[in-house]
Amino acid sequence: MTKIATSLAELRKQLESENLTCIVQKDDHILSSQLRGIRPLLNWIQQKENLNGAYAADRIVGKAAALLYVLMGVKGVFAEVLSESGLAMLKKHGIYAEYATLTPNIKRRDGNGLCPMEETVLLIDEPYEAYVALQKKVEQLKKAE
């Protein structure tokens, strides 16, 4: 059972101890997931979760996830791995960011090339536009499976 955290440090601990991929907290409202990639963020946006002012801890945050966190209105994000473009996007929108590892970019799971979600938002800087493009990409990938 996920307990209420009071800081990014506590969210980080929960991320690790509960083997989560991401966790978001706004006041006493907590959402957590073990789904990989940006799917939890897309789901929470689709469900119209009010996360304005929330804090998040995530395993991997690239530009795609950063744009979704901007759209969600979070105030702070901890990422185990944060891409330089993700950090730039968070900073641009005034979102506090902490990370364990900063990397030039997020690669595909097989290590060959750029992550498909990162490719999708390479030339997108507007959060809602990114959300729409990422939803389409996820649907394309589901059909290809």
Structural domains of the chain, with CATH: 8-144 (3.40.140.30)
* Helices 127-144, 63-72: crossing angle, 10 deg rounding: 120
pTM of the model: 0.94
Q: Dump pLDDT digits (tens) for 19-60.
A: 999 999 999 899 999 999 999 999 999 999 999 999 999 999
Half-sphere exposure of 58 (CA within 13 A, CB side): 28
Mean pLDDT of 115-134: 97
Residue with tokens 């729409």: 132
Q: How far apart are CA 126 and CA 24, in angstroms?
A: 22
Report residue 100's pLDDT band, with 50, 70 and 90 as the boundaries: very high
At 1 the pLDDT is: 37
Q: Are 82 and 102 in contact (CB under 8 A)?
A: yes
Residue with tokens 């960011």: 97
Q: How far apart are CA 28 and CA 30, in angstroms?
A: 6
Long-range contacts of 36-41, Cβ-Cβ distance < 8 Å, separation of 24 or more:
37/117, 38/64, 38/65, 38/68, 38/117, 38/134, 38/138, 39/138, 41/65, 41/68, 41/69, 41/72
